[in-house]
Amino acid sequence: MPKIGTQERYMIIFAVLLVFVMVLASAGLEIAKQNENETDAEPLVAGSDDAPAEGSEAAVTAAESSEDTLNTSSITENEQSTEPLAEQVSDNSGKVTIGISSCLEYLSHEDLSDRSDVILIGTVKEILPCKWNTVDGERPTDDIYDLGWNVLIYTDVVVSVDQYLKNPLSEKEVIVRTQGGDDGYVIMDVEDEPSFASGEKVLLYLTNDTYPPTKDFGPEHFVVTGVSQGKFTLTDDGRATQIGESLTLDELLETI
């Protein structure tokens, strides 16, 4: 059976999450409709056999809470049927966040070195505006529920190379691609993807991008090996750090 890579697992979970969001939205709208019908009914006299029990009051409260939750996403029943999503964003100043998470395969320092096509030390020069993996780089649809599992946002980071540690290239700059970003309305937050800051000094384990949804878009680029595990921030006191780990740069270099 062929192995499923980390990025493929992300996309599968992304598809499941989209279906889950759609089911929740549909259930919330149904509750809201039922609540409206109950409001139109004649009031019941307290103490009668037909009067609602205390538990019913809690159910009504839960329905109202669910309706409020739908409203915070800037998508109401009427808006869905009459306005494109892009206009809803402008009118309501809201954003939709799509979170993607998965179990991360642990890679040792030696694993990172063995699996990387290029290893380098460099400085983050620029973080480019995020794009969708479409021909024009724009969101392919105004309805997020029509997004396919393989449609995603990516962000390219320009890194000035100070030193190659494995498979040196002639380029003085490389582009590192990460999944996720914020296009002004949709925020795609991919757990375990590395984050970068302009001017940051880094040691990077890099792999050629072979993932079909992103590999053929934009300029030639790499991805970080083992996602966040393959990116270390270098400090002025000679250490290499990442979340949950800190060691000297010399110790890390010994594993390459």
Does the structure show a pLDDT above 60 at 235? yes
| Cα–Cα distance, 74 to 92 (Å, whole number) | 6
More confident residue, 66 or 19: 19
Give tens-digit pLDDT for 69-92: 333 333 333 333 323 333 333 333
In this predicted structure, the answer to whether residue 6 has a pLDDT above a threshold of 50 is yes
- Whether 227 and 104 have beta carbons less than 8 Å apart is answered as yes
Domains and CATH numbers, the chain: 6-99 (no CATH), 109-253 (2.40.50)
What pLDDT band is residue 143 in, cutting at 50, 70 and 90? confident
Average pLDDT over residues 22-46: 57
CA gap 118, 62 in Å, rounded:
54
Kindly report, residue by residue over 53-70, the tens digit of the pLDDT.
444 443 333 333 333 333
pLDDT exceeds 60 at position 50: no
Cβ pair 127, 199 in contact under 8 A? no
